[in-house]
Structure 1
Amino acid sequence: MMTDSVVPTTDLSSAEIVPPVVSNSEPFAPDRVDGYFALATFVLGFLFVRWVLLYWQGWGVSLFTVNYVSSVTLYLKHKGRAIPRASWFWLAILVLTGLSYGLWQGNGLQPWREFFLFGVAVYWVLIATDMTLLQGTSDWLPLDGLQGLFVIPLRNFWGQYKGLATLGKKRETRGQAMWPVALGIALALVITAMVVPLLMEADSGGFSAIFDNIGERLRWMQLSSVELQLHLMLTIPVAAYIYGLVVGSAHRRGMPSYKPEAAEKAVDSLRMLPAVTVFIVLGTITGLYLVFILSQIPYFFSAFTGARPEGWQVYSEYARNGFFELCSIAIINLSLLTAANLGIQKQARQKTLLKVLNCVVSLLTLLLIATAWSKMALYISVYGLSVKRLLPCVFMLFLTVVYLGVIALQRRCFSIVRLAAVVGSVLFCLLCLSDPDGFVTRYNANRYLTGTLNNFDVSILYRAGAAGIDGALLVYDKTNDAVLRYELDGYIGYWQPMIRGAAGMPKDTLQNALARQMLSRQSR
């Protein structure tokens, strides 16, 4: 829902030094700093293709994230751009999420972790360069996201080559001398990483002997000629995208051509629904929800007592049915509240009845969330935990905060979208750092060994990958069930070669290293 006034998150002291807005129609005039960054983006593009795009796992993603953040920050500093304090939150989310790749395999969070990391990497640049509509996270976040993902990088897609052209000109200051040195070293390392493996394949004498030990320790550098060609081909558009996003934002090219006031007027033009129409719709829906809940009290609230309602014989069917009902009703209610508050005539937005109906719909949804939470707890108590059962619990916590925010919005004016973005980002970042796959397998293993879980689901271990080794070995050492031990042998035999083969590769993680240690101790 859009609010009439949005509290900006940007430090006002930084607003004075923001350069004047450049018209999108003016030609791009890069300087030498832009030229050096054009070279740097080729390195970033190659590392993205090599370490991120092909794996989306391991320390390679973590190292790329650090390089990306460092390069962009250094570029903005040399451009004289003051980075607003509002961007530090998103910088922390970006770095912590990137570092989680080097810690845990995170199979259960795919592909959401990848989408989240990419989105935050783009949005952080917008916040750091004050390219959002209101110079901060606001209700216009979806529009800002579209600008950052598509408009800005694509409008400046070919700017990288204009930036490279500036390097042919005579340098104006001696203070920039370190740029070519640093970039030369970086490019030399990348080229060395590509050439040395090819030379080792072509030579079987002294050169290979010299680099055999080094090559074994640096297996991540090895590339076949076909892989090298593919990586270089993909590097070109990736580098152009990164350059277009960062430099386009720094030069304020591709920023929205309209002002916040014009955007607000566009939204106001949608407010055509009479207040009576909105009240009838919300009142009718609220009445239907009340009648439905009252008529289904035994069904909705039996989970609080730990029992199935009459007619339900399977726990899984009972729990899943409740969860999908929650998702459907929550989405419908959010859509309904958004449409009602955006569509109602402006003079009726402050009417008490509208605020009451907003609160009632939100409270009913919170009631359903609490009921679904109890159903999921009942389901987990019988069948154990999995990432697919853990994620709905986190999602329900997120929905709880959002609907509490909707209720608070009836008394105070703030950005509900910003609240949802901040809370959702913090929850998901904590989820990435907490190793949910490992937590799930250890939880099930401990419950199985203490006798509170009847069966140990080995299929969850397969989905967890290396994260399941700890729990699998714990059960394997203490169980007397021959069938279960045979299934655990199959899981360990399936994942052990891949865990050992990841050593020294960009997709390797701390979790893989710990798993290799546990497997080595087990084999002794």
Structure 2
Amino acid sequence: MDAVFALCAFALGYLFLRLVTVFYAGAGVTIFAALYAVLVLAYAHCSGVRCSRAGWGWLAFFLADSLLFLRGIAAPLQPAALLFLAGLAVYWTLVLFGARLSGRVDGCLGGDLRNAFWWGPFGNFSALPGALAHGLKRRGPGQKQRGAAAPAVLLGILLTLLLMPLVLFLLAGADPSFERALSVLFGWIDFDFPSVFLRLVLAVPVSFYLFGLFWGARRGAGLRSSAEKLCQAAEKRRSLGFAAAGIPIAALLAVYLIFFAAQLPYFVSAFSDLLPAGFTYAGYARRGFFELLWVTAVNLALLFFLKRRVRPGGRARRVLSALLCGATLLLLGTAARKLGLYIGIFGLTRKRVWAAWAMALVGVVVLLALADEFRQLPLARALALLCCGWFFLLCAVNADSLVLRYNCAAWQAGRIEEMDVSAVDPVFAAGALYEIRWSASDAGLRQRCEEALGRAANRERLRAESGDRAAGFTLAGLRASRLAEKT
């Protein structure tokens, strides 16, 4: 059984190199995720492992996230989205085979991810050739012979697929007559021998990694550490007295008190829509925005240090932590209000949507840290699930369409002076562009919408001609091409 699944892992490794691309991550990622799920579920079924309720839940989340690539994900988010999807895949594999350190999402999550990404696959990197060697070795005279030749036949086919493209490519380069003969025989097939051979070679380490992952998770082989060791290490790290964090917290609170007292009219105006003297709205909205975010990041780092390295307990700790969290929320709220003022003047952009998303996430994290000081919460579990869900929503929301619709409504209402359709990705904003094209009364705006739809159609045409027609296919791109044809 292991020999058969080892060969399936090699085929899956080849498909990974063919379907998953960084520049055009689309339907190929969804297809590969579905194939990986089918292979691992089949291996678990043949191994007598039943999928638990948690396993089905993480599988549903993994497949739902992969479907976002079929819909289409904005290019700046694609590398992070691919890494996130890979994390879901390897973590679900551990959940399916019951290989998590503590059996749930908690403070051992970091150890689980290290096992899933590194120790499990690379610790069992030789499992695939070992499984093939075990399937190919001769059986004793008293053992069953049925199916003994199947692994040998499959290995022979595998070696043929590896060697044949290389030999044909080299012979075609050595003799023009043989090259013409190959063009007659295989010219009707769109087959790039060098690319296929390169993928077959690179599929070997990829398949070793994939097979080592679920083979090791099934047997618990190669996995490092344990829940007890991680808990003991965490307790050892929390050996410092409160003075280690209390002194800098008290000093920062004193600075914040002086800062807010000195700048009270300036910052109160952010919430009362009053413009301080000597400022324009644009200058006031930009002034200090990133500095406030950096101060918030410093406070978060101090809170993280407090949770990880300082012993719990004590009224002074709870009071100072609550004051620091309150100051952080006040700084974050001021920055959010400044961002709101800037959006009200100049409209939305994709970066401003993501900045608002990040500030909302940080605010929830600070609230959870504050609640944990007064009532013990499963903080690691809450933060992990929160960040997973928050990032999933970030990828799921069509920010470009949201930006364009908001800006169009604000421009028509006279709140912003300029309607710039080039600030969005036309592929993802194609629906909004098409609606504005037929509903807007301004001829110049309609012309700009038509040009943006034309750019979206050209991008899809270039993607299809690049060789990633299937792997990079997205429903957003298909819709953009069809709407461009209608205009």
What TM-score, normalized by structure 2, do the two folds share?
0.83
Question: What's 1:269 paired with?
Answer: 236
How far 1:128 moved relative to its partner?
Answer: 2.6
Gaps of 5+ in 2: 170-178
How far 1:98 moved relative to its partner?
Answer: 0.6
Question: What's 1:28 paired with?
Answer: none
Are 1:325 and 2:291 counterparts? yes
How far 1:102 moved relative to its partner?
Answer: 0.6
Paired letter, 1:300: F
Question: What's 1:469 paired with?
Answer: 430
| Residues 94-103 or 47-56, more deviating | 47-56
Are 1:520 and 2:485 counterparts? yes
Question: Residue 437 and residue 232 in structure 1: after superposition, are their counterparts in 2 closer, same or farther (change >3 A)?
Answer: farther
| Residues 397-406 or 410-419, more deviating | 410-419
How far 1:336 moved relative to its partner?
Answer: 1.0
Q: Is the 8 A contact 1:300 1:371 kept in 2?
A: yes
Are 1:426 and 2:393 counterparts? no
Are 1:229 and 2:200 counterparts? no
Question: What's 1:369 paired with?
Answer: 332
How far 1:101 moved relative to its partner?
Answer: 0.7
Question: Residues of 1 paired with 2:388 and 2:327: CA distance?
Answer: 25
Superposition map of 1:207-286 within 5 A: 222-257=190-225, 259-286=226-253
Question: What's 2:457 paired with?
Answer: 496
What TM-score, normalized by structure 1, do the two folds share?
0.78
Question: Residues of 2 paired with 1:289 and 1:103: CA distance?
Answer: 46
Question: Residues of 1 paired with 2:79 and 2:275: CA distance?
Answer: 34
The one-character-per-residue Cα deviations of 1:277-314 (angstroms, maximum 9, x if unpaired) are 44333222222223222322233332323344334335
Paired letter, 1:392: A
| Residues 385-394 or 368-377, more deviating | 368-377
Instruction: Name the SS of the counterpart of 1:227 in structure 2.
Output: helix
Q: Which has the higher contact order (CA 8 A, sep 6+)?
A: 1
How far 1:95 moved relative to its partner?
Answer: 1.1
Instruction: Name the SS of the counterpart of 1:310 in structure 2.
Output: coil
User: CA-atom RMSD, angstroms?
Assistant: 3.4
The one-character-per-residue Cα deviations of 1:221-264 (angstroms, maximum 9, x if unpaired) are x542232123223222221111122211211112224x333333
Instruction: Name the SS of the counterpart of 2:481 in structure 1.
Output: helix
Q: 2:348 aligns with which of 380, 385, 391?
A: 385
Q: Is the 8 A contact 2:13 2:206 kept in 1?
A: yes
Are 1:336 and 2:297 counterparts? no
| Residues 484-493 or 268-277, more deviating | 484-493
How far 1:456 moved relative to its partner?
Answer: 1.7
Question: Residue 275 and residue 451 in structure 1: after superposition, are their counterparts in 2 closer, same or farther (change >3 A)?
Answer: closer
Q: Report sequence identity in percent.
A: 30
Aligned length, in residue pairs = 461
Paired letter, 2:339: M
Paired letter, 1:57: A
Instruction: Name the SS of the counterpart of 1:467 in structure 2.
Output: coil
| Residues 484-493 or 106-115, more deviating | 484-493
The one-character-per-residue Cα deviations of 1:117-141 (angstroms, maximum 9, x if unpaired) are 1222222222333333322211232
The one-character-per-residue Cα deviations of 1:319-364 (angstroms, maximum 9, x if unpaired) are 45554234322322222122234333x4xx2112112222221122
The one-character-per-residue Cα deviations of 1:408-453 (angstroms, maximum 9, x if unpaired) are 2123323212211101111221232232223223332343345443
Question: Residue 278 and residue 100 in structure 1: after superposition, are their counterparts in 2 closer, same or farther (change >3 A)?
Answer: closer
Question: What's 1:293 paired with?
Answer: 260
Paired letter, 1:428: F
Question: Residues of 2 paired with 1:64 and 1:518: CA distance?
Answer: 29
Q: 1:78 aligns with which of 33, 36, 46?
A: 46
Q: Is the 8 A contact 1:441 1:467 kept in 2?
A: no
Superposition map of 1:93-242 within 5 A: 93-168=61-136, 222-242=190-210
